[in-house]
Amino acid sequence: MPVEKHFIKQGLKRVELETYLENELSKAGYGGVDIKRVLTGTRVTIYVERPGMVIGKKGKSIKQLTDELEQKFGLEKPQVEVVEIPKPELSGPIMAKHIAFALERGLSVRRVGQSMVRTIMDAGARGVEIVISGRIAGERSKRMRFYEGYLSKAGEPAEKLVSHGQAVAKLKPGIVGIKVSIMPPDVPLPGEIKIAEPGESKEQPAAEKVEAAEKAEKEAEKAEKAPEKGDDDGKAQT
């Protein structure tokens, strides 16, 4: 099989697996999956809001999920680990589903969008963007965007740091798509990153400055107490 087709096949399988987990674990607050090959098989780490619903009584649900991953998706000896998301408000997939649920309950788009932006920012996010598009009201499609803070849109930070999530809400006028992007806390903003110029000397810490000053003072005192060489020679001749 050509290399291109192999990667395409792997990508399609990954999308199919994530779609399956998203549907099966929606009630548990599915937030994403991480798959790694290890010596003993395949390690599957599932991030959810409520781990107990994934594990089930006496581990029955997680055992059934493990069998599905092995038989349906061909994962070699899957070792499933369920990790609780400490702050669901900083997870794009989870917040996208919360928005879809709120819209299906009949809440207005503007109210839901503004409320979710405030909830996410209060949780410590650096920035958030919520895009809701589709037949929100009436026959014509509409797009509404809610944005606050700083959010990387391109490059490595956008790929590895930003949490992206998507969901679909089924409303009476039609289908509505939801996209959520969240910039996590503790990420330096562009203005906070200082690049040292070539040859720029680092400022000496205060403690080192005091120590150097005391050392110089002691050496000066020793030099004052020590007799000069010329005086010794003169005394010896007398």
Whether 102 shows a pLDDT value over 70: the answer reads: yes
Question: What are the residues whose beta carbons fall under 8 Å from the beta carbon of 179, sequence distance 6 or more?
Answer: 96, 129, 130, 131, 164, 165, 166
The CA distances from residue 233 to 154, 165, 222, 226, in Å, are: 79, 89, 20, 14
β partners of residue 81:
45
Per DSSP, helices labelled H in 56-91 are: 60-73
**pTM value?**
0.67
* Average pLDDT, integer, range 76-86: 89
39 CB-contact burial (10 Å; exposed 0-12 / middle 13-18 / buried 19+): exposed
More confident residue, 145 or 238: 145
Average pLDDT, integer, range 114-132: 95
Domains in the chain: ranges and CATH: 3-85 (3.30.300.20), 89-190 (3.30.1140.32)
| Contact yes or no for 96/164 (Cβ under 8 A) | no
Q: Quick one: which H or E segment has residue 45? A: strand 41-48
